[in-house]
Chain A
Amino acid sequence: MRELTYCQAIKEALEQAMEKDHRVFLMGEGVDDPRAIFGSTKGLKERFGADRVFDIPLAENGMTGVMIGAALAGMRPVMTHQRLDFTLYAMDQIVNHAAKRSYASGGSQCVPITIRAIVGRGWGQGPQHSQSLQALYSHVPGLKVVMPSTPYDVKGLLLAAIWDNNPVMFIEYRTLYDTIGGVPQEPYTVPIGQGVVRFAGTDVTIAAISNMVLEAARAKRVLDRVGISTEIIDLRTSKPLDEAVVLNSVMKTGRLVIADTGWRTCGVAAEVAAMVAEKCFKYLKAPIRRVTLPDIPTPTSRTLEEAYYPGSKDIAEAVCDVLEAGEKLKGAVRAASQDFKQSAEKLFVGPF
């Protein structure tokens, strides 16, 4: 299968959506500027024209309202935010308006909007250019929240989001942009609300989302070396959550580690943990462990950044915890981790 980067896959999805349906248009700060949202919108304005691909004023709330109005009038707009943090300007329109239209109109109206939002990381993004707020949006009935982790999924889920008749928060983790994977040429969709088992295993379940799926996969390479059979689930959507894929796995392994890109308190990992405790408590052999950001805003200094972000090592340690591993196993895991860096991402050198 032909390979694309995550970023190229996004662009292909946008192109194919706009080719297929004249009601799809793209708006956002910088969508037609020279950087083209890290390349994900490059050439789209030249191809589809300024009426369908346009820059917007620094007015996120107003422009989200504009997007909603266009959707109510029959269009299928896509907005891009260069940072998920900027969507907070638009909370009124997203939560009070977009999320409520279907319910408040008794199902007679819908808001088929897709809001792409990038989680920044590295190069001193700092507290306001790096927030991963899937938990916030997942809390709101009426919204869908999607966080693809692979190039294949980002194209399929973006097309699914654009064809979905509901407001979808489409969250793209920045460090995934250069990852490479097989992406079919033709248009296809990946179902929203469906998780997937990335690796099958029997000793422990790691349920992860977005970038943490890659960190879980790195942890698995260490765990493989010491004979631990790891099952990794990529949740792909945090709202609606695919409960069955997690429950089926926990019923098999009895041990669960949840790895999320957001903060600990009230995060998506907390929701998954509560759900599992409610629905298959009897199958749990040990308490659930969560691997998340600490409840601290993102630091700007590089040394603090490195300490801040959890990665494959933290996941491997959490697996040891849920396995109630003795010192011998813990030592073996540590030894096997020696030649793995905390995270395999190239140190991002900027600019933004």
Chain B
Amino acid sequence: MQLVAPRVGLLCTSALVGGTIPIAVGAALASKIDGSNRVAVIVFGDGGTEEGVFHESMNFASMKKLPVVFVCENNFYAVYTHQSARQCADNIYQRAASYLIPGVRIDGNDVLRVYNEAKKAVDRARRGEGPTLIECRTYRWLEHVGPHSDTHLGYRSEAVLQDWKARCPVQSFKHKLVAEGALSEKETEEIKAEIINEIEEAVAYAKKSPYPDVEELGTAVYAP
């Protein structure tokens, strides 16, 4: 939960839910001060919207019209606890309104819908009009952390999960592209093979990489 890749624009991640929301607003503030016209996008779950820092971030970003896009992936669960047990109402996208930020709720599994809303929000941010909140409704297939299924724990229904699986964003979009003639079946197989290859190379690289030397233990506690 400490992944960073500033080279490709992944500035910060955190294991503290909501912790990176104000950090994104800070990056947007820097962009405004230094005139670099970069837009900060912050992705968080439904749980993140309950942290006070979410509200603090929206207030400040709105007041200063900062170039930031707030993206909530609402998958309805924080670990095993359903949204209805944590929030007074299912209205995440409306919470931005009190901070004068436009909020929209969309099907998070609809690739083109997500793309178009994101584009609108990024363009709005670049024009200096301020932030947007996009609530993307989606679902978690596997457990909170790890590669296994966990419906056997009984906190959610298998039927609902299967429903969502039938609306897989990748499969749905693939069918759409093939049906519209934008891609052939063969081309989709080639893309899939390419991606699987890239993943397998990364896994192989990780598996053959050595564990860190014990000498590395105290390095980089402080920046030079």
Contacts and interface: CB of A to CB of B under 8 A. Distances in A.
A256 to B, nearest CB: 28
A97 B59 CA distance: 21
A166 B222 contact: yes
12 contacts: A51-B32, A61-B52, A61-B53, A61-B56, A66-B22, A67-B26, A69-B25, A70-B27, A70-B29, A72-B26, A74-B34, A102-B221
Interface in B23-63: 23-34, 38, 40, 52-53, 55-57, 59-60, 63
A97 B24 CA distance: 13
Interface stretch (A52-60, A312-320, A322-330): A52-60
A338 interface: no
Contacts of B16: 92, 96-97
Interface in A284-303: none
Interface string A11-52: 000000000000101000000000000000000000000011
Interface of A: 23, 25, 51-52, 56-57, 59, 61-75, 92-93, 96-97, 100-112, 141-142, 144, 165-166
Contact of B25 (A66, A100, A108, A144): A66
B63 A166 contact: no
B146 interface: no
Given A104-B2, A108-B4, A71 B52 contact: no
A141 B30 contact: no
B19 A96 contact: yes
A290 B53 CA distance: 39
A74 to B, nearest CB: 6
Interface of B: 2, 4, 6, 11-12, 14, 16, 19-34, 38, 40, 52-53, 55-57, 59-60, 63, 219-224
Q: What secondary structure prevails in chain B residues at the interface with A? A: helix
Contact of A69 (B30, B59, B219, B222): B30
A111 to B, nearest CB: 8
Contacts of A105: 2, 4, 220
B56 A63 contact: yes
Given A25-B33, A61-B53, A62-B56, A69 B22 contact: yes
Contacts of A66: 22-23, 25-26, 29, 57, 60
B44 to A, nearest CB: 12
Given A107-B223, A109-B4, A59 B30 contact: no
A103 B218 CA distance: 9
Contact of A65 (B31, B32, B53): B53
Nearest to A74: B30
A97 B63 contact: no
A97 B221 contact: no
A108 B19 contact: no
Contacts of A64: 22
A65 B29 contact: no
Nearest to A164: B223
A51 B6 contact: no
Contact of A61 (B22, B63, B219, B220): B22
Contacts of A56: 60
A52 B33 contact: yes
A42 B26 CA distance: 25
B84 to A, nearest CB: 26
Nearest to B7: A108
Nearest to A106: B220
B12 A69 contact: yes
B82 to A, nearest CB: 25
Contacts of B223: 102, 107, 110-112, 165-166
B30 A73 contact: yes
B22 A73 contact: no
Contacts of B219: 106-107
B60 A108 contact: no
Contact of A59 (B19, B23, B56, B222): B56
Contacts of A62: 21-22, 25, 52-53, 55-57, 59-60
Nearest to A108: B4
A96 B51 CA distance: 15
Nearest to A61: B53
A69 B220 contact: no
**Which are the 6 A-B pairs with shortest beta-carbon distances?**
A69-B26, A65-B22, A62-B56, A107-B220, A110-B223, A59-B56
Nearest to A142: B221
A342 to B, nearest CB: 39
Contacts of A67: 26
Contacts of B52: 61-62
Contacts of B20: 65
B168 to A, nearest CB: 33
Nearest to B54: A62
A69 B29 contact: yes
B34 A96 contact: no
A57 B60 CA distance: 7
A66 B63 CA distance: 14
A142 B4 CA distance: 18
Contacts of A108: 4, 6
Contacts of B12: 69, 72, 101, 109
A196 to B, nearest CB: 22
Contact of B60 (A59, A71, A107, A111): A59
